[in-house]
Structures are given as C-alpha cells and as structure tokens.
Structure 1
Amino acid sequence: MPTSTQTLSEQTVQDAFHSYLRSSLTHAKMERLLDADVLSSAEGDLMITGPALSLYFAALRCTTNPPSVPLPRNPKSSAGDRPMELSYENCPPTFISFLRVWSMNVPAIQSLAPEHQHDLARLICGLPAIQNPVHRNISRIAAELRAVALEISQRRSFQDRFASALQTALDAGNSSHKRASFVPPPVYEPTSPSISYKPDRGSLSLQSHHLEPPSPSSTTPSPTILAPGLSPSIEFIRETLYAALGDVLEEHPSLRGLLSSDPCRAYFASVSLAILFVSTEAIDQTTKSIIGVLGTPLTLDECPRELQPLMAELMSIGEVAGNIVEEDNSSLMDALQRGEEVTGENETRLERVKKILIVGVGYESRNDIGNGTRTRKTSVQGRAVGFANRIGELALRMMSLPAFRQRQDSVFKVLAGIGG
C-alpha cells in the first residue's frame, strides 16, 4: 500500500481520525465494552477512552513496517485511486509525536494473543482484564495509548466533533434512542483583564473587575470561597486549585507562550500542574485534608459523597508524588556515590511528569522525526506516563464539573492576561 511523500493536511488527518473514532466507538458498543448510558452521558473519561480505542484498532489494522496508519478511503475519490497511509514521510508536524508513540506500540499490540488483545481493549475502557495473570505488557500499552488520547482530547478539532461520533455509535443497530449530551467546552478569546499577580508569592487574584459581564443565564463569578448556589466543598477545591495557577505560571514560564499558540492545551496543562502543586503543597496526609486558599482545612469526610472520589484521588496523587520525590532523591544519591556525573539531562521522574503534562507524552522525540525507530526512553517506558495520565484524567474530570465550567472563562482570561 503506497504512502505519499507530500505532507498531508491536518484536516485530512483529522477527518481520518474521526472516521476511526466513529467506527471504534460503534465496535466497542457492539462488543459491550461501552454501553449506551456511558456513550450518551459522556461522563467519566470517555473523551480519553474513545481516542485510545481508535489508536488500538488502527494498530490492529496496520500492515507496514515501520508502522503507518491506513487512512479511510475518501468517499469522493474514484474507484481507481489507491488507498493512502499516514507515515513519517507525510505526517503533519503537529501529529508526529502522536504517530511516534503509537508506532512504537504497534508491534507489541500485534504480537499479543487474541485474548490478551481483548484484555487490552478492556483496560482502555476502564474494565478489568479477564485473563489471569494479566499479560505484563498490556498495562503499559494501555497507559501510553491513553496518554496520546489525553492529548488528542484537548484539541478543539476533536472536541467539536466528539458528540457526532458518540451519536453515530448510539444510533448503530437501532438499539437506543438516546442522544449524546456532550457539549464542547467554551471557546476562549483571550483579552487583557485587570489582574492582581504577585510573583514573589506566586499568588493569583481572580477578582478582576474588567472581565466581560456574564450572560443573564449564567452565575456571576464570585471572588469569595462560598458562592451562592454551589457546593461549598467543590468551590473550596476549585478556588484552591485556581489560586495555585500563579505558582504554576511562575515555575513553568513556557506556559505563557502556549497560552497564545494553543489556549485550550495551555489551560488543561495549567490545571493539571495546579493539581500536582496542590496535592504536594496543600494536602495534610495525616488528617486527610486539603488546606484551602484561606488557610482553612477541608477533610475528606466533610466532602459530599459524590465529591469524595475526586478529593481522594487528589490526595492519592500527592502521596504518590511524595514517594516519587523520595525515589528520585535516593537514585541521585546512589549515582553520586557511584561517581557518576549528574547533568541537566538527568531529569527526575517528577520533572518528566511535568514535561509530559505541558508538551505531551512524545516530548522527547519532537526534534527527531527519523525513520520510525528510536531507543525508548525511561519516561515512556516507566511510571512517569501512568502518573501523568492520573493527573490529566483528574483534571479532565474536574474541568467537566459545572462549578469549574462556570469559572473557566474568567480564570482563562486572567491567565491570558498574565501570559500576554
């Protein structure tokens, strides 16, 4: 099957991916990996599961070495036109890192026995594996496919078409009359609001008085912790995270440029890094409480039952991060005792996690398109990807909550003002 050496347009790749997305969600529904209720509500991490399934099925269909993605035939093409494939030679630069991580997993996916391939699909969908013991590679593969999917889910071109893909799957087989309820997040048009930002403290005040007034149907953003009509607990967590954004921007100045070039991605990365910051700096693991922006603790038991899983995951992330720091420090000391030279290239695992959150799982290879082969590095092989996924998935879950959506627009404008 031929590949073109002419770079494909981003639109061509997006169209092909959404064709895969529709068929993958439909197949998953038929195989009872996803049910109609999940598809219609679009709750949980379906925005990650859907793209990850597409990458999985594309890997099964791959017949080339090095791996390339067979593109669906264009309905407008003539019968004599030969099918195309997405390869390193014709991939748009925007998608190279996605293609690289996917292609490195294709041989491993294809070498799995059918029962283990099915287990991989189940893990991608958040279901337990059937085989016992679980194949040693499928957890790693699932984590890497979901890491790429997490990045894809932040692209506006994906968000705008996700609901139609869900509806296609729901309509398949005429077994459901449900409608997809997914609504894309707001489109941000950065302005320059009046803000209060104190670099010496890393604190960010959201009390901007030059923000555009809300529409009559929306809730007016309040500068206080306890806004009317919202759960005090979720607003407490929300404002604590948003208050950490100033520290995040100070620590990661590259986010400022990202705010201009890719606002949605920048906002997602900022919230993810704020989760990591709060989980390590504002969690009391002894009392199982989060210390809010006013210095007031909120315990896990004080949270409403529906919010406890989110807060428990926030605390768990902090605990894991603390363990990673201890392991990183121990590895550093061992290296020094062995007389090894420690340079800036010796990133700690937590530093790799932060880079993944900002620039994606394929960040190491962005300057190395090559011919499809490279030595797999620790951040892709090890636990950094899985931990970054946990943080990103929690960010996605929190950002989908109505209380966060109410505040996103004003907070994003403040961030954009700082970035400018």
Structure 2
Amino acid sequence: MPDSERLSEDYVQDSFHSYLKSSLTQAKVERLLDVDMLSSAEGDLMITGPALCLYFAALRCTTNPPSVPLPRVNKTTPPLQLTGDNCPRPFIAFLNVWANAVPEIQNLAPEHQHDLARLICGLPPLAQPTNSNLSRIAADLRAVAIEISQRRSFQERYSTDLQAAIDAGEGPSGSRHKVKASFSPPPAYDPSAPKSSHSSPRSDPGDLPSKIPSYAHVRTHSTTSNGYLSPTNSEFIDPKSPVPRPPSPSILTAHSPAIELIRETLYASLADVLERVPSIRRVLHTDPPRAYFAAVSFAILDVATTCVMPDGAVQGVLGQQLTLVDCPQGLRPFMIELAGIGAAAREMEEQDDDAAVQIAAQGGEVPVPRLERVRWMLEKGVGHHLRDEGDAGRRSVEGRAVAFANRINGLALGLTRLKAFRERQGEVFKVLSGVGT
C-alpha cells in the first residue's frame, strides 16, 4: 500500500495511548501493578506498561491474520482495524512481532495467560507445572515495549497514562490525598545543541531508580577462567591488565564520582562501536535517539565483556578501576548487572562453542551463535529474530537471545535516564556524529 494510504503515525499513537490507559488500569485491578508502582519513576515501568498493552490487545484480537481494532474517532466513524496493509511503516516491525505472538497467547490455558502477564510485570508464575514458552513470549512483547519506550512521543505522554490508571476507581477528586505520577521524560536527544557538562558533576541521589529492571534478577554465573575473549576479535585478554579504550570526549579526573567513571567508560566505547557497526553510524544522522540507544547497548555489551574483572570491578578509562565496595549504594545494582551481563555473555559463548564442536563432529550445520544473534537484535531492532523461525528448539534459542538483548537494552534504558548521563548526551552526540564521516 502506498504511504499516502496508510494511517498516520499520530492516529496510531493516539489509539495506542488510549489502550495503554485501560491496560494499566486493568493491571491495577488484577493486582499486577499497584498505585505505588504506577506513581514511581522506575525505568522498568516504561517497559512493563507497553508490554501489558500488547498482551491485552492480543487477548482481544478476533481476526486472522491478527489485527488491532482502533478506537472510533466519534460514533459516526466506521470501525477500523490496524493491519499490515495500513500500518505506518515505522510501526510495521512492532505489529509483526505482536501478530506473531497472538495465536500462542490465545492458545494458552487461562492460568498460563495470567502467568504471562505476571512475567511481563516481573512477577513469578503461579501455575504448576510452568509453561516453558511463557518466557519467550514475554521477551518478545518486552522487546517491542523497549523500542516503543525509546520514542519521544511515548515518553512525553506516559505520565498522563500512568496518572489515568492511578486515578481510575479512586473515588471523587479530593476525597483523599491525590497520588501523582512522578515519571518525567528524559531530555530530548539533540546533537546540535550540546548541554554544558559543568552544571552538576554528580548524579542526584533522587535521580536513581530504586531498582534495576525486573528481569535483571537472572542468576549471575561466576567465571572460573583466568581470562576471557574479546567479542570483536576473539583475542585473549588478561583480566589483570588494563583494557585499552579508544579516545573519547572524556572529562574524567582522578577524583570524579563513580557514576562518571561508569559513564565515561561506556562513552569511550561508543566511538569503537560506531566504527564496527556502520549501520548505526548511518542511522545516527536520520534517527538520533534510535542510534544513540543502540550504540549505548552495544557499548554495555562491549564493556561488560572486556572491562569487567572476575571480581566484578570495572577497569575504566585512564586506567582507573571501580570496585563494588567503592561504588555508592545507589549505583551498585547497575554495577552488579553490568558484571552479570558479562558473565552471562561469556557463558553463552562457551555453551555455543561446545555445541558447535558437537554439531560439526556429527556433520551438521553450525547455527549462528546466540551472542551474534543478540548483536543483530541490538543493531537492527525488534523483529529481526523472526526471520529465522524454525523448529521448537530454534524458537527456544531465539527466545533466550531476545531475553538477553532485552536485558542489555533494559540496563541501557536505566543508565541513560540518570542525570549524569543525560548531562553529557548532547556533547557526546556532537562528537560521535562526526565519527567515520
């Protein structure tokens, strides 16, 4: 269908936020979310809300192939369905991933449907035995939600959605103390208007989320090797030696606070990321928020696998090292998650290497390693994993890869909302936009 005949982005966004308000309200009624959670400013809530909206939309779907009934503009307008034919092009990948999940969600037993909603909200399943497909379906819905949460149009309206859910069913206005949604969108990414980095050298403690994303509780596996492999060139790296980082626009000093060391270490990796992944560099000029977020996610994976020592310390820029003991309490969850991502990535590589040896010995075709699939997803965005759908075993592998990509993206979402990161985004954008051009 020509773009002129597709629905406008604004119309679809308005419809989505209409459903989002009702979905958050329904989640409150079912006690999946409470008022305290809705009023918080936690980064994970930016993911949970849109994912719940997709879940409830899947339960309501009555068409094949799946489509979304859109709210009527007024009583005289005919009902309209959002389909692959009339969907705005920027949203087609979102619709495809959602549509792929709809039959599976509808075929679940009611108790497993409820458990799926619980998983989306970071709650443990209740039904026994558990359904092994739920984690994969939840990962797909959360992957779409992460991409939605990066859109400025969503960030600017989410507080209103949360407030509507908070107020729903709470009685007449003024009957009790009114709870306010504290969510506020991060500053807009604007590479042409860098912000001063001298306004506040420290992160405001009130700016730190009370917890990292709920899927970050995945068990961290300790590493037993004396070294590890670089994800870019498989070169053995001595974990006791400082890892050389490319030059970066750093303002770090010997007395800089911990958040700045973490920030500058990640930003030092961004130039290298943009050199290795030229597609992100190209998108930086056409869709800065998407490119910036993808680059930060790549940098997290890079730093987690090359700069985190076996004891969990981070070997940062200028040869400085940050240990967990020295890290402020509010930042420790981010440090722990960074180390967890690195350990999980190395374990994933080891498992895939072992499996590849066995498959090759049997004369089979060695699949693309999971970590490489994760990099594809970080680079290309949601829906990329659907191109290789196959048997149940492959779908299980894809589900784990999507969940791991979500874990990296979730940490990126949490970190980039911190004040210390936001202060430097414009400046770093301006420098990095010239890399490779």
Q: Take 2:273 and 2:290, find their aligned partners in 1: how far apart are those partners?
A: 15
Pick one of 216, 221, 224 that aligns with 2:253. Answer: 224
Q: Take 2:282 and 2:132, find their aligned partners in 1: how far apart are those partners?
A: 40
In structure 2, give the amino acid aligned to 1:350. Answer: L
**Aligned-partner SS, 2:435:** helix
Aligned to 1:268: 293
Give the TM-score normalised by structure 2.
0.80
C-alpha contact 2:94 2:144 (8 A) present in aligned 1: yes
C-alpha contact 2:48 2:145 (8 A) present in aligned 1: yes
1:382 aligns with 2:399: yes
Aligned to 1:302: 326
1:190 aligns with 2:186: no
Q: Take 1:57 and 1:133, find their aligned partners in 2: how far apart are those partners?
A: 23
In structure 2, give the amino acid aligned to 1:206. Answer: P
In structure 2, give the amino acid aligned to 1:67. Answer: P
Aligned to 2:281: 256
Aligned to 1:159: 155
Q: Take 1:299 and 1:281, find their aligned partners in 2: how far apart are those partners?
A: 15
Aligned to 1:196: none
Note the C-alpha offset of 1:304.
2.2
Q: Take 1:359 and 1:88, find their aligned partners in 2: how far apart are those partners?
A: 20
**Aligned-partner SS, 1:85:** strand
Give the TM-score normalised by structure 1.
0.83
Matches within 5 A, 1:95-244: 95-174=91-170, 177-191=178-192, 203-207=246-250, 222-224=251-253, 226-227=255-256, 232-244=257-269
C-alpha contact 2:24 2:165 (8 A) present in aligned 1: yes
In structure 1, give the amino acid aligned to 2:421. Answer: F
Q: Take 1:47 and 1:113, find their aligned partners in 2: how far apart are those partners?
A: 28
Note the C-alpha offset of 1:379.
8.4
Aligned to 1:371: none
Task: State the aligned residue count.
Answer: 378
Matches within 5 A, 1:68-83: 68-75=67-74, 77-78=75-76, 81-83=77-79
1:277 aligns with 2:320: no
Q: Take 2:385 and 2:119, find their aligned partners in 1: how far apart are those partners?
A: 26
1:404 aligns with 2:405: no
1:245 aligns with 2:267: no
Note the C-alpha offset of 1:330.
2.8
Aligned to 2:46: 47
In structure 2, give the amino acid aligned to 1:269. Answer: A
**Aligned-partner SS, 1:102:** helix
1:362 aligns with 2:383: yes
Q: Note closer, same or farther for the CA distance 1:82–1:354 as it changes in structure 2 (3 Å cut).
A: same
Q: Note closer, same or farther for the CA distance 1:378–1:138 as it changes in structure 2 (3 Å cut).
A: closer
1:311 aligns with 2:335: yes
Q: Take 2:118 and 2:255, find their aligned partners in 1: how far apart are those partners?
A: 41
Q: Take 1:67 and 1:276, find their aligned partners in 2: how far apart are those partners?
A: 35
In structure 1, give the amino acid aligned to 2:192. Answer: T
Identity percentage of aligned residues: 58
C-alpha contact 1:144 1:380 (8 A) present in aligned 2: no
- Note the aligned Cα RMSD (angstroms): 2.4
C-alpha contact 1:225 1:239 (8 A) present in aligned 2: no
Q: Take 1:398 and 1:107, find their aligned partners in 2: how far apart are those partners?
A: 35
Q: Take 1:226 and 1:116, find their aligned partners in 2: how far apart are those partners?
A: 52
C-alpha contact 1:226 1:236 (8 A) present in aligned 2: no
